[in-house]
Amino acid sequence: MIETKDLIKQFDGVMVLNLPALKINRGESFGLVGNNGAGKTTFFSLILDIIEASSGMVLSHGINVRQSEHWKSYTGSYLDERFLIDFLTPEEYFDFICSINRLTTAEYQGFLDRFQEFFNGEVLGTNKYIRALSRGNQKKVGIAAALMSHPDVIILDEPFPNLDPTTVIRLKNILKELQRNTQVTMLISSHDLNHVTEVCKRIAILEKGIIVHDLKTDENTLEQLQAYFDPIKE
């Protein structure tokens, strides 16, 4: 579904990402963890053709994302608040996303019903522009918009920070339900090792732009991740 071929990204001559042959299969829930500057957002930005690779390519459904826009029709993503149109209200923004995805009135209403609990009365009907919402509520808007059209590929960069505990639980339940009931391919980066092991069946550790471990999630994965990032033994 998502594949890299000799993918390299450099900034000012410094290597920040080197993924020669990574393959994420259809229906896989793929977690990406790493310290700040590891290259997680860079990788997601390359998948979404926001930045250009120094060499190599990212393939989506076997097609180079730089050479086609077809992938945009089946990909939902939210990296940060730059994905939002902050001078709109949430309702206006959702109307816009609905129109570009050509959803029917019934599909749009189904979306609003599906995310009512997730919004928790803090997003719709507030008569506020998106820029006036808290960072957590802005994130709710962005994540919900990414999932609106039932995409085949979902890319979320650090979706859990700034969300209150109730919303984090609801988001994890939404992601787990998508995995149970669809063939969605999910890519999620997170600094929270507990959350990512709970929602992803495969987790890669990115260190200075290189994948140093690629793990199938099991009962030992959280402990392995904790040991990697905190290797000091008593």
pLDDT recorded at residue 60:
96
Contacts of 186 (CB under 8 A, 6+ apart): 28, 29, 30, 153, 154, 156, 175, 178, 179, 199, 200
pLDDT of residue 215: 96
Contact (Cβ atoms closer than 8 angstroms) between residue 194 and residue 162: no
Q: How far apart are CA 143 and CA 46, in angstroms?
A: 19
Chain CA centroid to CA 47, Å: 11
**Does residue 234 surpass a pLDDT of 60?**
no
Per-residue pLDDT of 177-215, as tens digits, reads 999 988 899 999 999 999 999 999 999 999 999 999 999
Q: Does residue 231 have a pLDDT over 80?
A: no
Q: What is the largest CA-CA distance in the chain?
A: 60
**Which three-class secondary structure string do you get for the chain?**
CEEEEEEEEEECCEEEEEECCCEECCCCEEEEECCCCCCHHHHHHHHCCCCCCCEEEEEECCEECCCCCHHHHHEEEECCHHHCCCCCCHHHHHHHHHHHCCCCHHHHHHHHHHCHHHHCCCCCCCCCCHHHCCHHHHHHHHHHHHHCCCCCEEEEECCCCCCCHHHHHHHHHHHHHHHHHCCCEEEEECCCHHHHHHHCCEEEEEECCEEEEEEECCCCHHHHHHHHHCCCCC
Q: Tell me the two tokens of residue 72.
A: 């945009």
- 8 Å CB contact between 7 and 61: no
Distance of CA 19 to the CA centre of its chain: 18
Q: How confident is the model at residue 232 (pLDDT cuts 50, 70, 90)?
A: confident
Note the pLDDT of residue 47. Answer: 97
Residue type, 178: L
Topology of 2-84+153-229 in CATH?
Rossmann fold (3.40.50)
Question: Crossing angle, helix 135-147 and helix 165-181, to 10 degrees?
Answer: 10
Q: CA 100, 88, 164 angle in degrees (round to 5)?
A: 100
pLDDT at 140 over 60: yes
Mean pLDDT, the chain, rounded, equals: 95
Residue 27 has pLDDT above 90, yes or no: yes
And the tokens for 125? 């009907």
